[in-house]
Amino acid sequence: MSYFLGKLTGEIPSLLIYPLVFVTFWYILVNPEAEFYTYYGLFLLFEIVFSSLGYFISVFVQRTHAEFVGVMYIILCALLGGVQPTVRTMSKEWYTLVLVCSSPVRWAVELMYTVEIRKYQESNQNVATALENYGFSYKAYYISPIILIAITIIFLVLSFVGLVMRDPQAVERIKTLTRVYIRKGKRKLKKLKSERKKPGDYVFQQESEIQVLEDGEESESDEDDELLLQQDEVYQPPSMQQDQQ
């Protein structure tokens, strides 16, 4: 966890600077209607989303193939960006709709388009046709950021899980803790079942509602489990080694 959080924290300066440099030149060349800080916020969000994608690819793909997979995924997302073909066209079939909705670029493009089109609407211009041609909606102004943040969280969680699973000791540690807590839960249920029924106490009405440990099953005691938990508290994961493949 410390290694993972350290990597994320170390990326914060670059995440803030790269969009700023890009938007500075892009804003001068394009001269959009929306404010500079609005587009900086948008591109900062896009940077965070695709940085999380980079973490995901670096964990699950070998280094020799990571760049190729990353480029191909970006190209695929761009093709499903909702511009050509449009979201309106892709929405005619359920499977094409799923494809276009799974692309982060599709939500990013719709968000940028909606931000810009709102400025024209403030000038009392009719922009409904422009939105309808692409299949976009004003709701994207609020929905798209939420979806992009959700995609980021999914990529980060999967990256963390993949990073943990690459350490054999961590995998064995998870298995051990799982067995410990399952045994502790079973013993508590057995104790609850064997206690005498008292007024106001919760009891199980039927024998079939709970599986009680048989005598001699799970011979490990609470002391054994506590020892395992104490060993887990002092567990130190090995330092991450670079993938030499």
Residues 177 and 149 grouped into a single domain: no
- Confidence band of 214 (pLDDT split at 50, 70, 90): very low
Domain assignment present for residue 243? The answer is: no
Instruction: Count CA atoms within 13 Å of residue 66 on its CB side.
Output: 14
Q: What is the DSSP letter of 127?
A: -
> What CA–CA distance (Å, rounded) separates 123 from 70?
41
Q: Which of 17-26, 40-49, 127-136, 202-211 has the lowest mean pLDDT?
A: 202-211
For the cut 60, the answer to whether the pLDDT of residue 245 exceeds it is: no
- Calpha distance 154→227 (Å, rounded): 35
Amino acid at 120: Y
Residue 93 clears pLDDT 80, i.e. is over it: yes
Q: Has residue 173 got a pLDDT over 80?
A: no
Kindly report, residue by residue over 16-27, the tens digit of the pLDDT. 999 999 999 999
| Residue 8: pLDDT over 80 | yes
Residue ranges with strand state E in 111-161? none
Domain termination site, one of 139, 165, 191: 165
The verdict on 156 and 174 lying in the same domain is: no
Residues 106, 108, 113, 115: what is their CA dihedral angle, to the nearest 10 degrees?
150
Query: What is the rounded CA–CA span in Å between residue 7 and residue 240?
Result: 12
Say if CB 111 and CB 141 are below 8 A apart.
yes
Q: How many domains does the chain have?
A: 2
Closest to 136 measured CA to CA, from 109, 96, 102: 109
Asked whether residue 229 is assigned to any structural domain, the reply reads: yes
At residue 201, the pLDDT reads 47
Q: Is the peptide bond before 145 cis (omega within 30 degrees of 0)?
A: no
pTM above 0.75, yes or no: no
Residue 39 pLDDT class (50, 70, 90 cuts): very high
Q: What is the pLDDT of residue 217?
A: 43
> Looking at the structure, do residues 221 and 144 belong to the same domain, yes or no?
no
d(CA 140, CA 111): 6
**Mean pLDDT over all residues of the chain?**
77
Which tokens is 128 given?
């409904």
R_g of the chain computed on alpha carbons: 27
